[in-house]
Amino acid sequence: MKVLQITTHFNVGGITNYILTLSRALAGKDIQTVVFSSGGDMEAELSKSGIPHRKVGIKTKFELAPKVIAAGFKAAAIIKNENIDIIHAHTRVSQVAAAIASRFTGVPYVTTCHGYFKKRLRGILDTWGMKVIAISGAVRKHLEADLGVDAGRIALIYSGVDAAKFSHGYSQDEIISAKRSLGLKGGPVIGAIGRLSPVKGHEFLLRAMKDIIAAKPGAQCLIIGDGEERSRLESLAGSSGIDSSVKFVESCPDTHKYLSLMDVFIFPSIKEGLGIALLEALAAGRACVASRIGGIENIIEDGRNGLLVGVADPAAIAAAVKTLLGDEGLRKRMGAEGRALVAAKFTLDSMAVKIAELYRETVKR
């Protein structure tokens, strides 16, 4: 079986990571992937994995832009020429292109809803495909209640990560060396990984850091990610007088090394469908503090495998971090519980098996 994965771009981010890891896992289940996007800084990862990439200009925020319509017809040509059996779309723009390609080829398409959306043209155009994958229970509820998708059309398939990869530890000497290379000192490291945009809530972590540093003078903050918020966040760190204790590092495809440096991982989103970065942190055995919202509540059981805090609440973030930094045993216990949860419920293989079955059922229909 061959599947055409359609997305808007292929830059570092949750959707790109989802497509890349899913495609690698599907290869072991006799499903070949072709990726269709406008490209990006993660294209090399596709090449390394032997995954064909068809680069077509589709990057836009308007679903009915001329380039989207043109992309739909280009996708149709690829589907016919390369004997594609099913289409899988991942953004509202790529859903429109998938709908056009499906209409002109007769090849069915499915979609994944990766988060929360406004209705916009969705109230007029139904481009969800034969099946829509919800990446969490919270997203499934959003699809039904807010977007009017029929429950029978929704498949709840939790996103997964390569648990075995993140279970590998680093030696103390390797950790010390990595810290030095980043300019980090010997104190505890509070870290976050994710796109630097307002919805990810990094601002509230930085506001919490002033209180954390006052209680733990050696504490440092490591933020991994790129985005439009970076300059504002750097300014905030400076105006708060903590810039010497905050380190910003560009996004990278392999976050394992950075997670190994963190004593506490923070996921302060103000809106979140599930959170791949959070799953990776749990798989790496990190003690986690996360917002009590959306799909995060499908992952973190407060007090067991992490601590949940109110949305946009720096004081609560600071209190949770101080609790964890003051109790090494608690950090280790929560890290172990988080790792066990990912291994039981959020593995990449489990996700791939369920999606492969969804593809086969859809093609049969």
Under 8 Å between Cβ of 131 and 108 = no
Instruction: Looking at the structure, tell me whether residues 97 and 199 fall in a common domain.
Output: no
8 A C-beta contact, residue 354 and residue 157: yes
Average pLDDT, integer, range 242-255:
91
| Lowest mean pLDDT across 9-13, 133-137, 331-335 | 9-13
pLDDT digits (tens, 9 = 90+) for 294-305: 999 999 999 999
Considering the domain architecture, whether residues 294 and 240 belong to the same structural domain is answered as yes
Question: Do 259 and 339 reside in the same domain of the chain?
Answer: yes
- Rounded distance, CA 110 to CA 101, Å? 12
Residues 180 and 271 in one domain: yes
List pLDDT tens digits, range 303-313.
Answer: 999 999 999 99
Residues in CB range of 85: below 8 A, 6 or more apart: 1, 2, 3, 107, 359, 363
Instruction: Tell me the mean pLDDT in the region 16-42.
Output: 96
pLDDT at 292 over 90: yes
d(CA 271, CA 294): 7
Buried b (16+ CB within 10 A) or exposed e, 112-144: bbbbbbeeeebeeeebbbbbbbbbbebbbebbe
Identify the bridge partners of residue 190 per DSSP, sorted by sequence position.
221, 264
Burial of 171 (0-12, 13-18, 19+ CB in 10 A): exposed
| Distance, C-alpha 267 to centroid of its chain | 12
Q: How much is the average pLDDT of 107-121?
A: 89
Q: What is the CATH number of the domain that holds 199?
A: 3.40.50.2000
Residue 25 and residue 44 share a domain: yes
pLDDT band at 123 (very low <50, low <70, confident <90, very high): low
Structure tokens at 42: 């993660």
Question: Is the distance from CB of 36 to CB of 8 less than 8 angstroms?
Answer: no
Same structural domain for residues 156 and 203? no
Sheet holding 246-249, edge to edge: 246-249, 220-224, 189-193, 264-267, 287-291, 307-309
Q: Is the pLDDT of residue 340 over 70?
A: yes
Q: What does the angle CA 158 – CA 159 – CA 164 come to, to the nearest 5 degrees?
A: 115
Total domain count, the chain: 2
**pLDDT tens readout for residues 156-175:** 999 999 988 888 778 888 88
- Do 287 and 355 belong together in one domain? no
Whether residue 220 sits in one domain with residue 254: yes
d(CA 169, CA 37): 35
Looking at per-residue pLDDT, the higher value among 289 and 178 belongs to 289
- What pLDDT is recorded for position 37? 98
Residues 179 and 284 in one domain: yes
pLDDT confidence band for 122 (50 / 70 / 90): low
Confidence tier at 117 by pLDDT (50, 70, 90): confident
Instruction: Tell me which amino acid residue 190 is.
Output: I
Residues 351 and 340 placed together within one structural domain of the fold: no
Q: Are residues 121 and 168 in the same domain?
A: no
Average pLDDT, the chain: 95
**Cα–Cα dist 165/289, whole Å:** 22
Strand 86-89 vs strand 53-55: parallel, antiparallel, or unpaired? unpaired
Domain that residue 104 falls in: 2-160+347-364
Per-residue pLDDT, averaged over 209-229, amounts to 96
- The phi and psi torsions of 46 (rounded to 5 degrees) equal -65, -45
* Stretch 112-120: mean pLDDT: 87
On the question of pLDDT at 120 being above 80, the answer is no
176 pLDDT band, cuts 50/70/90, is: confident
Q: Are residues 66 and 149 in the same domain?
A: yes
4-17 average pLDDT score: 94
Q: What is the pLDDT of residue 243?
A: 96
pTM: 0.93
| Number of C-beta neighbours around residue 148 at 10 A | 12
